[in-house]
Structure 1
Amino acid sequence: MEINLVSDTVTKPTQEMLRFMFQAEVGDDVYKQDPTVIELEARTAKMFGLEAGLFFPSGTMANQTAIKLHTQPGEQLIADKWAHVYNYEGGGVSFNSGVSCCLLEGNRGMITAEQVAGAINPPEFYHSPLTSLVCVENTTNKGGGACYDFEEFKKIRKVCDDNNLKFHLDGARIWNALVATNDNPEAYGEVFHTISVCFSKGLGAPIGSVLLSDKETINKALRVRKILGGGMRQVGYLAAAGIYALDNNIDRLKEDHRRAKELGALLQNLNWIEKVEPVETNILIFSVKKGLNEHLLIEKLKERNIHISSMGHGKLRIVTHLDYREVMHNYVLETLERIIVK
């Protein structure tokens, strides 16, 4: 029994999801003639109170498209220093859009309106790059699945409006945030100019993200997606997985959150643990005591068919997900309690 807790991207489609995918009605999406893709885009947009959506093969491409739409070469975006758009998208901010990043020292990957206001370059000062975009992530990946207080989003939007900036949400794990906070997704559509949402993490689809905005912006996004090579043909088979996920896999995220919190509570009481970050959703970040080798722990767990990941600087990460079942959870709890790290 292999237990992969490296990421929630490792999930495989269930038999029920696969059957739903195989039954999908499809067309050529490059010509915007795939009815299943059109349905997923429309349903997701309506859920967030926005006019339109566009299906992408990856969240990275959706984010990069949003950045391209909102900026011009030589300009600058504001984000937390742990932001996915900066750390994990291959330098696409500079390669695709010619944009630099002003990185802020947030709290667990979350920045404040006050920080944003203080980071905006004076638009009349032509020696510095023009600030044009703010990017935030909810939940935060490197921040350990932390959820923003929605009121902070509203404050940041006010700063953006006052300074003629656009506001983009990287919602790779937005479903986890919605389940954890009970926020209304339609409120997100009122605050953000663009939102990317992902189906291949907590919702268990094999692929796919959707970029959401108004109709005019999404029409422009269609051209950028084409330039980036993101046009696909009978992709309704994959979009069907997103529809199935919306109908069946959102509420069950509570189970992932419960299991992550139980793992965190156990680790708090182990004598070889230095620190456990707060656990809000399905990501658990912790560190072993100074002098202990975290890679030894990874190997010890691997010998017991449990796989976790290192984030560097002594930090380790566990991510719970759809394929992490209760029997596995009990086994991991027992293993962690018995294991000895020296």
Structure 2
Amino acid sequence: MIDFRSDTVTRPSEKMRTVMAQAEVGDDVYGDDPTVNDLETWAAERHGFASALFTSSGTQANLLGILSHCGRGDEYLCGQDAHNYKYEAGGAAVLGSVQPQPIENSADGSLDLAKLAKAVKPDDNHFAKTRLLSLENTMGGKVLPMAYLAQARGFAERQGLAMHLDGARVYNAAVALDVDVTQIAQHFDSMTVCLSKGLGAPVGSLLFGSQEFIARARRLRKMVGGGMRQAGILAAAGKLALAENVSRLVEDHANARYLAAQLNTLPGVSCDEASVQTNIVFLNVDQTVAIQALASTLKAQGILISPGYQGMRLVTHLDVSRSSIDRLISAWRACL
């Protein structure tokens, strides 16, 4: 199957499967898994943080990050379209009694600092305490500019807020900006990195922060059922993904631009090619197209998409080649 639904559908390479099979393991809850310990130590240094925690998912990493910054009755600022607000089942509110305060995202994915300032609560018993600003990079495939990150950091310091980055696709941002990931990470008190999206590992995310912060997060990870035993099998895949699969993200970005251009050749389809910055392509499909029937026909031919009309999303990744895109376009055109 050629799968354009997300970059979460990537499959481990044969080399990655070999590394997983050969990984040294121990009981990570006891702190005895040497491969997990190696990943956390190596990754913390690589990303410019004092400590790191290996988690089962990006959702879990974000939850632990927010709960380690905020207590019951506290508040965090985030985007209206932020993943940790909109797509993570309200975990911070449900499990931590932490109130999200969403702000409308600008077209480039950023949050207007003036709007954020108005949302910060005064020190008054009527209000939740605003503790944290959470940003996401990339945001809907868009890259937050380096200058904006510096401005947001200055804003957070003036307001006395900690800064968290949902960096599920932060390497896509770094590659698009042609900067080292540490230049992005330096602006944040905590950061997540998803290993199971474009980087190609089958499972896992990392949470970064200070030693004290990660110690709190580790305790919370156990509380929410995230303590894993012989997790070195997964950590080995994660380290390989970080060590070997970052540089090839440029191919995904180029394929996404090619995909956007080819989509614009299809009747009833429009795509803003200029807005494609990384590996996510949004398109609008005319209502006259029987989109569900199209998706079913494509699936029968071994091509998976998430059907929709306005704002439909296609994603490139290591299992999508230029020929895969040509096959999608040809099959789509034949269906029409």
1:199 to 173, 176, 195: 195
Kept in 2: contact 1:267–1:276 (CA 8 A): no
- 1:123-138 → structure 2 map (5 Å cutoff): 124-138=123-137
CA shift for structure 1 position 5 = 0.9
Q: Deviations over 1:239-270 (max 9, x none)?
A: 00011112221111111111111111122343
What is the rounded CA distance, in whole Å, between the counterparts of 1:273 and 1:302 in structure 2?
19
1:220 to 191, 216, 219: 216
Kept in 2: contact 1:212–1:218 (CA 8 A): yes
Q: Does 1:20 align with 2:13?
A: no
Q: Does 1:114 align with 2:114?
A: yes
Deviates more, 1:127-136 or 1:190-199: 127-136
Q: Structure 2, unaligned stretches of length 5 or more?
A: none
What is the rounded CA distance, in whole Å, between the counterparts of 2:293 and 2:272 in structure 1?
18
Number of corresponding residues: 334
What amino acid is aligned across from residue 284 of structure 2 in structure 1? S
Kept in 2: contact 1:11–1:321 (CA 8 A): yes
Structure 2 partner of 1:94: 93
* TM-score, structure 1 normalization: 0.92
TM-aligned CA distance change 1:189 to 1:325, over 3 Å? closer
Structure 2 partner of 1:161: 157
- 1:171-182 → structure 2 map (5 Å cutoff): 171-182=167-178
CA shift for structure 1 position 325 = 2.9
What amino acid is aligned across from residue 176 of structure 1 in structure 2? N
What is the rounded CA distance, in whole Å, between the counterparts of 1:111 and 1:293 in structure 2?
36
CA shift for structure 1 position 274 = 4.0
Structure 2 partner of 1:233: 229
Structure 2 partner of 1:285: 282
What is the rounded CA distance, in whole Å, between the counterparts of 1:100 and 1:291 in structure 2?
42
What amino acid is aligned across from residue 250 of structure 1 in structure 2? V
SS at match of 2:166: strand
RMSD (CA atoms): 1.8
What is the rounded CA distance, in whole Å, between the counterparts of 1:70 and 1:125 in structure 2?
20
Structure 1 partner of 2:303: 306
CA shift for structure 1 position 101 = 1.7
What is the rounded CA distance, in whole Å, between the counterparts of 1:158 and 1:288 in structure 2?
41
What is the rounded CA distance, in whole Å, between the counterparts of 1:273 and 1:313 in structure 2?
9
What is the rounded CA distance, in whole Å, between the counterparts of 1:271 and 1:11 in structure 2?
30
2:294 to 297, 306, 312: 297
What is the rounded CA distance, in whole Å, between the counterparts of 2:335 and 2:251 in structure 1?
25
Q: Deviations over 1:294-314 (max 9, x none)?
A: 33432343243221114x663
SS at match of 1:328: helix
Q: Deviations over 1:107-137 (max 9, x none)?
A: 2433133332232122x23323221111111
Q: Structure 1, unaligned stretches of length 5 or more?
A: none
SS at match of 2:257: helix
2:144 to 143, 148, 151: 148
What amino acid is aligned across from residue 22 of structure 1 in structure 2? A
SS at match of 1:210: strand
CA shift for structure 1 position 337 = 4.5
What is the rounded CA distance, in whole Å, between the counterparts of 1:325 and 1:202 in structure 2?
13
What is the rounded CA distance, in whole Å, between the counterparts of 1:181 and 1:336 in structure 2?
33
Kept in 2: contact 1:116–1:159 (CA 8 A): no
Deviates more, 1:210-219 or 1:293-302: 293-302
* TM-score, structure 2 normalization: 0.94
SS at match of 1:322: coil
What is the rounded CA distance, in whole Å, between the counterparts of 1:160 and 1:247 in structure 2?
32
What is the rounded CA distance, in whole Å, between the counterparts of 1:294 and 1:99 in structure 2?
39
Kept in 1: contact 2:5–2:314 (CA 8 A): yes
Q: Does 1:319 align with 2:315?
A: yes
Deviates more, 1:283-292 or 1:20-29: 283-292
CA shift for structure 1 position 15 = 0.8
What is the rounded CA distance, in whole Å, between the counterparts of 1:58 and 1:96 in structure 2?
16
Structure 2 partner of 1:5: 4
SS at match of 1:151: helix
Quote the sequence identity (%). 40
CA shift for structure 1 position 291 = 4.6
